[in-house]
């Protein structure tokens, strides 16, 4: 077998997008990269169970509270909980030789200090057609609530590179999904997942990995 890109998937919840990636890898559709590590920032995230069932190594890295382990005395600069979290995340990624990071329902904003370490090597799936319903505060059901409140007839999903601006990186792929009469945010969320996210993310991951190997 030839060289493959080492992938880490960052998760926070149930892991349905992670499962789509695992299934695509099992079918041979994601073959230019291999999922080596799944990291959660939430204790007990079911995504970790999905990874374990697939034989993928898992880690949980929690963000400490601001008063935990404060080192602001004696002239030592106190490190912020975000910086501490990202330092531990970075150490785990480097230890495993990770080359591509996929955010799959990862509910934490990464700082510019972190994203600059991986220029166009972090991808995210967003449940709308960027630039609509995106940016700070638009995540999960909030995205679908906004789409329905606005009265748009078409929504979808976008896979994009991640930079220091929330949902601001270069777009890799998009897929449209129709909004139907009587949709609730929950119904729309499920349709966008099934018709767009679970299809788009593995395809985009394969494309990025294949491009990295050129």
Active site residues: 126
Phi-psi region of 65 (alpha: psi -120 to 50; beta: other; left: phi over 0): beta
The region, left, alpha or beta by phi > 0 then psi within -120 to 50, assigned to residue 151 is: left
Tell how strand 154-161 and strand 171-178 pair up. antiparallel
Task: Give the DSSP per-residue string, 132-151.
Answer: SS-STT--THHHHHHHHHHT
């Amino acid at each position: 077998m030839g060289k493959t890109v080492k992938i880490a998937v960052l998760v926070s919840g149930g892991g349905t997008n992670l499962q789509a990636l695992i299934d695509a890898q099992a079918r041979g559709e994601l073959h230019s990269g291999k999922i080596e590590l799944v990291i959660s920032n939430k204790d007990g995230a079911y995504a970790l169970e999905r990874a374990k069932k697939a034989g993928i190594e898992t880690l949980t890295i929690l963000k400490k509270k601001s008063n935990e382990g404060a080192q602001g005395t004696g002239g030592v600069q106190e490190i912020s909980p975000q910086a501490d979290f990202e330092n531990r995340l970075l150490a785990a990624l480097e230890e495993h030789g990770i080359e591509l990071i996929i955010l799959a329902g990862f509910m934490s904003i990464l700082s510019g200090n972190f994203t600059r370490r991986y220029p166009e090597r972090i991808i995210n799936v967003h449940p709308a057609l960027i630039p609509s319903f995106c940016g700070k505060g638009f995540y999960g059901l909030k995205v679908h609530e906004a789409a329905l409140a606005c009265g748009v007839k078409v929504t979808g999903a976008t896979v994009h590179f991640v930079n220091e601006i929330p949902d601001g990186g270069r777009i890799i792929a998009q897929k449209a999904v129709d909004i139907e009469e009587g949709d609730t945010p929950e119904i729309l969320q499920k349709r966008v997942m099934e018709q767009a996210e679970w299809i788009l993310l593995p395809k985009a991951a394969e494309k990025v990995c294949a491009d990295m190997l050129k």
